[in-house]
Amino acid sequence: MQVLPPALRRRAMISPLSLIDTLAAQSLAVVALTTFLFMATETSLFIGLLVPGDVAVLVSGTTAGSPAEYLALVAAAATGAMLGETAGYLLGRRFGSRIRNSRLSMRLGEGRWTHAERLASGQRTGWALVTSRFVPLLHSIVPVAAGTLSMPYLRFIAWEAAACTVWAATYLGIGSLAGNAFHDHGSRIGYAVSAALVLVILTLTTVSRKAQAR
């Protein structure tokens, strides 16, 4: 097997810093529009089951170089997420039983669907919806379950607006911190900061799951 020279191996590897620089070179409008479209399709077309929105928003956050850019991305991500969850809600109202009994439902697992249905029908639905936004995969199912169970739309979207805004602000902030660490301090500090931020994400997910359990 042919071994590439060290110089070619270095060129073939894409460092996080070069990826961040490539993303940062794009205009804010392009990054915001891409983030909006991804979040709009995450729930409505179940794209989030393949690539969780958490990843997309974290990557977008690395491009935020100023408070204005950060706020613009928060607005794009939150609005896109609300649009996607509205579409998921409408899909649940129209095709809820079919989706529930489909192969997709079987692949996701009975436990996730049952949990999503409990969140959409429990007495503390509002706070449960907020915390579910921080649990990967689950937040892609909850809107469909809410529509299937005919949860009042205004109540659903009011809580989801709060959830999407908090979630977008949190994950974009984490992405921005990681991107700035790589850009300002290089790979060593960048990896250390990224590892710490991953622990923060895992903590948020764990706390959200425990809150739902209570």
Per-domain residue ranges of the chain: 15-213
* pLDDT reading at 213 higher than 60: no
pLDDT given for residue 4 in this prediction? 40
Residue 62 is given by DSSP the state: T
Between 165 and 63, residue with greater pLDDT? 165
Residue 101 burial (C-beta neighbours within 10 Å; 0-12, 13-18, 19+)? exposed
* pLDDT reading at 23 higher than 60: yes
* pLDDT reading at 145 higher than 80: yes
| Residue 72, both tokens | 């613009």
Sequence-separated (6 or more) residues with CB below 8 Å from residue 2: none
**pTM of the full predicted structure?**
0.74
* pLDDT reading at 63 higher than 80: yes
* pLDDT reading at 75 higher than 90: yes
Maximum alpha-carbon separation in the chain: 63
Do the Cβ atoms of 125 and 157 come closer than 8 Å? no
* pLDDT reading at 78 higher than 90: yes
pLDDT given for residue 197 in this prediction? 55
Sequence-separated (6 or more) residues with CB below 8 Å from residue 105: 99, 113
pLDDT given for residue 203 in this prediction? 63
pLDDT given for residue 185 in this prediction? 56
Mean pLDDT of the chain: 75
pLDDT band at 70 (very low <50, low <70, confident <90, very high): very high
Do the Cβ atoms of 131 and 125 come closer than 8 Å? no
- Helix pair 67-100, 138-148: axis angle to 10 deg: 50
Count other C-beta atoms under 10 Å from residue 198's C-beta. 13
Nearest to 56 by CA among 75, 73, 79: 73
